């Protein structure tokens, strides 16, 4: 399932944390997180659906000294997800679990499909639940952090986003409850609520709505990764619980 890759050797003087797992690592925010964390962890585990794109991210991460393994997995396929969870649960220690994979759909309820609702719940909510549960022991051994990349839609009640909004609101509830359980174990839980971000998914959303896509006016995935990395770099006595990011008004008007 996963193919280990050997990266460049890390100088002994470089202090790195144990390992990071990134879902949705083949593009967008997941890719940016993988590249950002590659410089600060010994081992990087990349999860995505596209082997060629995962390998490209892996090569970039390896150039920063991380040892990289890639897992091509469909998070909405229960058997594949369970096999992945079983494999990753054997990690000796985990410093960061970064949930960046996500699915999107926008339809009126009357025109929607139950299969789309099931897919959104599977990727946006069930997969983070299954992987987090499987990795709690490695996270505790690594004094780790759990990050959920969420959406501003989680707190909004917008027409045609009932299924997507429900999956993201469910992720908020999971993260908030998990934090109460994990803090006594020395683990931190961060939810990141994003406005429109320049990613392939956002390009698709604009195209479907017939709107012009101008990525320079949106949040940049690299900036999101930098802020997440900075939040986790805080001393263990401090915890950022929620981050809300959106494109700056002047930048949008730009």
pLDDT of residue 254: 40
HEC string of the chain? Answer: CEEEECCCCCCCCCCCEEEEEEECCCCHHHHHHHHHHCCCEEEEEEEECCHHHHHHHHHHHHCCCCEEEEEECCCCCHHHHHHHHHHHCCCCCCCEEEECCCCCCCCCHHHCCHHHHHHHHHHHHHHHHHHHHHHHHHHHHCCCEEEEEEEHHHHCCCCCCHHHHHHHHHHHHHHHHHHHHHHHHCCEEEEEEECCEECHHHHHHHHHHCCCCCHHHCEEHHHHHHHHHHHHCCCCCCCCCEEEECCCHHHHHC
Render each residue's pLDDT in the chain as its tens digit; 254 residues. Answer: 455 554 444 343 357 899 999 999 999 999 999 999 999 999 999 999 999 999 999 999 999 999 999 999 999 999 999 999 999 999 999 999 999 999 988 888 998 899 999 999 999 999 999 999 999 999 999 999 999 999 988 877 788 888 999 999 999 999 999 999 999 999 999 999 999 888 877 887 777 777 888 888 889 999 999 999 999 999 999 999 999 999 986 555 44
Q: Note whether 117 and 163 are within 8 A (CB).
A: yes
Instruction: Give the model's pLDDT for residue 2.
Output: 58
Q: What pTM was estimated for this model as a whole? A: 0.89
Domains of the chain, first to last? 2-195+222-240 (3.40.50.720)
Residue 196 in contact with residue 216, Cβ under 8 Å? no
């Amino acid at each position: 399932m996963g193919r280990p890759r050997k990266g460049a050797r890390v100088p002994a003087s470089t202090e790195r944390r144990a390992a990071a797992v990134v879902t949705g690592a083949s593009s967008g925010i997941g890719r940016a997180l993988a590249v950002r964390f590659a410089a600060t962890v010994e081992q990087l585990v990349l999860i995505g659906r596209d082997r060629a794109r995962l390998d490209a991210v892996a090569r970039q991460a390896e150039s920063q000294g991380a040892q990289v393994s890639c897992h091509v997995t469909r998070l909405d396929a229960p058997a594949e997800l369970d096999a992945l969870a079983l494999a990753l649960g054997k990690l000796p220690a985990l410093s960061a679990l970064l949930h960046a994979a996500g699915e999107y759909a926008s339809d009126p309820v009357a025109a929607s499909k139950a299969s789309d609702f099931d897919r959104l719940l599977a990727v946006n909510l069930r997969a983070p639940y299954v992987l987090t549960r499987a990795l709690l022991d490695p996270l505790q051994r690594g004094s780790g952090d759990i990050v959920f990349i969420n959406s501003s839609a989680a707190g909004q009640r917008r027409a045609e986003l009932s299924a997507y909004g429900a999956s993201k609101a469910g992720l908020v509830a999971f993260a908030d409850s998990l934090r109460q359980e994990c803090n006594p174990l020395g683990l931190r839980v961060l939810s990141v609520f994003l406005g429109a971000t320049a990613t392939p998914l956002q390009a698709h959303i604009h195209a479907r709505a017939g709107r012009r896509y101008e990525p320079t006016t949106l949040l940049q995935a690299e900036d999101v990764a930098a802020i997440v990395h900075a939040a986790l770099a805080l001393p263990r006595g401090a915890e950022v619980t929620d981050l809300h990011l959106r494109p700056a008004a002047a930048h949008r008007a730009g």
